[in-house]
Structure 1
């Protein structure tokens, strides 16, 4: 099978009625990420390793609940609590690299809510379908994050 190289930049912005610290905590806690990170009720995220620090590595498997076929390796390069994350993600199936991404999360708080923007610079080695799946997966996960935080929120003062 010949590999089809595709590139894109995905930007997703959300406003959450929760403090920036709470938004950031949902990123650094693997149990919380397992709850909000799966794009749908039929999918799951299972952490194998968690080392949330600059230079650290997280490893998780994801996919359909009965078939966690994707392995994701996340390397952290910059963590500025509660304002910014910079990390890479590599997605594999078996021993094949499917995509590599540079991801930035920018978080800012105003009086009533927290704004965050996720920018994903992705290279797919298997064509544009991987990019479309990444875009959809992140959009759904971030909508889940918003619902998760608003359900468990602490009032912003």
Structure 2
């Protein structure tokens, strides 16, 4: 076979090798990021459930269990001695679409679907509630893990139908 005939084959092999290396490095970066969530976390913050209510101070503890392309974080939040609620996030990373998808548990209306992308230390997620919350079925969640032991979770939603989107909860956790 001539050298000219081998060039297209060599180009195809190189393209496949580059694609495989790129995919592997992206997957490795996500695996490293997900590893930041390993262990026990605790902290506090505020949660506002409805537009006419005052934010409640909560304390939370969560245990994160990452694997190669997913994270499961389960725990509970407590407001004074009034109530305690189990909370959790299960997210899987899809390298082909560069998206995270999963569920959030802890809302009084049941599990919500999550989907979004990561940019640096931050995962920006869209929440799809199973039933209307504050007049609609969507909100946003931002999960930021700085890699130095601080995990910040914020949720933004409109508190009145058609009202402005505002922060409805913020919880800051520290690795224990």
Q: TM-score range by the shorter chain?
A: 0.3 to 0.5
Q: TM-score, normalised by structure 2?
A: 0.40
Determine which structure has the larger strand proportion and give its number: 2
> Which structure's relative contact order is higher, taking Cα pairs within 8 Å and 6+ residues apart?
1
Q: TM-score, normalised by structure 1?
A: 0.44
Structure ID, larger Rg: 2
